[in-house]
A and B are shown apart, each in its own frame.
Chain A
Amino acid sequence: MRKDYSSWSLFTKGLRHNEGWNPAWRSAEPKPSYDVVIVGAGGHGLATAYYLAKDHGVRNIAVLEKGYLGGGNTARNTTIVRSNYLWDEAALLYEHALKLWEGLTEDLNFNVMFSQRGVFNLGHTLQDMRDIERRVNANNLDGIDAMVLDAAEVKRRIPILNTSKSARYPVLGASFQPRGGVARHDAVAWGFARAASKYGVDIIENCEVTGMDIANGRIAGLETTRGTIRSERVGCVASGHSSVLAKMAGIRMPIESHPLQAFVSESMKPVLDTVVMSNAVHGYASQSDKGELVIGAGIDHYTSYTQRGSPHIIEHTAAAILELFPMFSRARMNRQWGGIVDTTPDACPIISKTKVKGLYFNCGWGTGGFKATPGSGNVFAHTIARDDPHPLNRAFDLARFSTGHLIDEHGAAGVAH
């Protein structure tokens, strides 16, 4: 059993030149069978394993990862956390996650650096502002903090923002969620991995699922690059590769996988102490604790699994950011990357049982999954443990694509669709 991190452990290990720290989680060899197998060791998958062990008493769990832990979209997002969605179903799900974020560092005994620096969603047209007012009112009715700010107040709070009336897309105001913010994406995966490992969860890296054993409409096990693993309950949390897994089970998914690019600048002095997003000019930016600008925008329009996108998307992103922050024109970009996002027709996730008994999918988070990490794992663990959805993810069933009960979040879900 690993000791908790504390000021005392930091101090005493410091006196010993920081020697003697143990690995944060146990690297496991696959056993022949498990009670539950989670496919995908990103934030959502590890959170699922953690809550299965902690809240539902499941002990014999494996998390399989085809690459390395937290190396997919967990490592590739822009770390924004908020819950100001329009529709009740989505807003309550993301708010559930936000409430878990607020206690996550203590819960995991791992500093996920959750910083509630607020999130602005800018409005540039009268229609934008009407939509913002509607969304803020909907948020307030759901008990979510949100307010409408006028352009002068936005300027007061973000001095470097271009609020000139002569701008091509003038800023007329914004919605503001004070409890929104950013978190350290890697730390979320590492924290959940460490906490799950403490409960005995086997985390197995370099283990790609290559096939599923399905008999009589029931999952019996998985074929992997490290041998056959038996399990009667399997949860797939593979983001961009969800369609690939679904195909192994003969299930069709309403998902298209697109590259989503992002980039960070060189480190600069602190200039932006909040998160700014704009649907109209199509970009979002925040500044990391290291001083880098973290910038993202829209998806590449074609489907692809290549984890890279086309340069003209970068150009559009840069143009959008400069429209908002002209002073960033001299900032040089350090790194650029692409992640593969699993987009759905209604920009909402699928957290669902399937027609294969014992096989569950948590996918379709598209461009906005990071913010939901703890909430997603929490309700998915409930779904797997009880073979029945949590009240918060009942509406996110795969069946909504035949009943027609879509949760159309394209307006509020953000810039990327």
Chain B
Amino acid sequence: MFVLFCPHCGEKREEEEFGYGGEAFIPRPATPEALDDEAWGDYLFMRKNPKGWHWEMWSHNTGCRKFFVVKRNTATNAIAGSWTLAEGRKAYDAEGGST
């Protein structure tokens, strides 16, 4: 059971209030029609799925219904923090956009 902090509501709530949104910051290709099948398949289906720190989206389903970003360690379930998408993007980029 996680206790997640929703940066929109400013509150810590139990996991059951939230929905998992998967890997964060997967950019939608700007010109999908220019991609070959492999690059499009990579965008649609391929995931980092790291054992370690993972930037991921959660949505506050039974609260504000907004998405936010969490950095969580998938090997230990330790949570480094929660950010709004915009703030999380800055922190993610500051790390070099790695896993």
User: Do A and B bind?
Assistant: yes
Q: Name the residue on B nearest A306 (C-beta).
A: B77
A51 CB to closest chain B CB (Å) equals: 28
With A311-B1, A402-B37 known to touch, is A305 a contact of B42 (CB < 8 Å)?
A: no
For B72, what are the chain A residues with a Cβ–Cβ distance below 8 Å? 302
For A303, what are the chain B residues with a Cβ–Cβ distance below 8 Å? 22, 49, 54, 56, 74
B87 within 8 A of A: no
Q: A232 to B51, alpha carbons, bound, how many Å?
A: 27
Q: Are A244 and B51 in contact (CB under 8 A)?
A: yes
Q: Are A310 and B51 in contact (CB under 8 A)?
A: no
A231 within 8 A of B: no
Q: Which one, A180-188, A249-257, A327-335, is touching chain B?
A: A249-257
A304 within 8 A of B: yes
Q: Are A306 and B74 in contact (CB under 8 A)?
A: yes
For B76, what are the chain A residues with a Cβ–Cβ distance below 8 Å? 306
With A345-B45, A403-B37 known to touch, is A304 a contact of B1 (CB < 8 Å)?
A: no
Q: Are B51 and A241 in contact (CB under 8 A)?
A: yes
Q: Are A404 and B49 in contact (CB under 8 A)?
A: no
B95 within 8 A of A: no
Q: Are A254 and B45 in contact (CB under 8 A)?
A: yes
Which residues of A (361-417) have their CB < 8 Å from a CB of B?
A: 401-404
Q: Are A305 and B47 in contact (CB under 8 A)?
A: no
A312 within 8 A of B: yes
B41 within 8 A of A: yes
A137 CB to closest chain B CB (Å) equals: 30
Number of interface residues of B (CB under 8 A): 27
With A402-B37, A402-B40 known to touch, is A252 a contact of B75 (CB < 8 Å)?
A: no
Query: Interface code B29-42, partner A: CB below 8 Å = 1, 0 otherwise?
Result: 00000000110111
Q: Are B47 and A310 in contact (CB under 8 A)?
A: no
For B51, what are the chain A residues with a Cβ–Cβ distance below 8 Å? 241, 243-244, 257, 305
Q: Name the residue on B nearest A243 (C-beta).
A: B49
A87 CB to closest chain B CB (Å) equals: 18
Which residues of A (232-256) have their CB < 8 Å from a CB of B?
A: 241, 243-244, 247, 252-256
Q: Name the residue on A nearest B52 (C-beta).
A: A305
For A254, what are the chain B residues with a Cβ–Cβ distance below 8 Å? 45-47
Q: Are A312 and B15 in contact (CB under 8 A)?
A: yes
Contact pick for B2, options A252, A256, A310, A404, CB 8 Å: A310
B30 CB to closest chain A CB (Å) equals: 19
Query: Interface code B60-84, partner A: CB below 8 Å = 1, 0 otherwise?
Result: 0000000000001011110000000
Contact pick for A402, options B38, B47, B50, B54, CB 8 Å: B38
A301 within 8 A of B: yes
Q: Are A256 and B46 in contact (CB under 8 A)?
A: no
Q: Are B49 and A257 in contact (CB under 8 A)?
A: yes
B23 CB to closest chain A CB (Å) equals: 8
Q: Are B37 and A305 in contact (CB under 8 A)?
A: no
Q: Name the residue on A nearest B36 (C-beta).
A: A402
Q: A404 to B44, alpha carbons, bound, how many Å?
A: 11
For B54, what are the chain A residues with a Cβ–Cβ distance below 8 Å? 303
B62 CB to closest chain A CB (Å) equals: 13
For B22, what are the chain A residues with a Cβ–Cβ distance below 8 Å? 256, 303
Q: Are A305 and B75 in contact (CB under 8 A)?
A: yes
With A256-B49, A401-B45 known to touch, is A301 a contact of B75 (CB < 8 Å)?
A: no
Which residues of A (43-80) have their CB < 8 Å from a CB of B?
A: none
B29 CB to closest chain A CB (Å) equals: 14
With A241-B51, A306-B77, A402-B41 known to touch, is A301 a contact of B46 (CB < 8 Å)?
A: no
Q: Are B56 and A302 in contact (CB under 8 A)?
A: yes
Q: Are B77 and A401 in contact (CB under 8 A)?
A: no
B56 CB to closest chain A CB (Å) equals: 7
Which residues of A (249-286) have their CB < 8 Å from a CB of B?
A: 252-257
Q: Are A401 and B16 in contact (CB under 8 A)?
A: no
B19 within 8 A of A: yes
Q: Are B50 and A243 in contact (CB under 8 A)?
A: yes
Q: A257 to B37, alpha carbons, bound, how many Å?
A: 25
Contact pick for A401, options B41, B48, B50, B75, CB 8 Å: B41
Contact surface of B with A, Cβ cutoff 8 Å: 1-2, 15-16, 19-20, 22, 37-38, 40-42, 44-51, 54, 56, 72, 74-77
23 contacts between A and B (CB under 8 A): A243-B49, A252-B46, A252-B48, A253-B47, A253-B49, A254-B45, A254-B46, A256-B47, A257-B51, A302-B56, A303-B49, A303-B54, A303-B56, A305-B74, A305-B75, A306-B74, A306-B75, A306-B77, A310-B1, A402-B40, A402-B42, A403-B41, A404-B41
In the A-B complex, the 4 residue pairs with the smallest Cβ-Cβ separation, listed nearest first, are: A402-B41, A254-B45, A243-B49, A252-B46
Known: A257-B74, A401-B44. 6 other contacts (CB 8 A): A243-B48, A252-B46, A301-B20, A305-B74, A401-B45, A403-B41
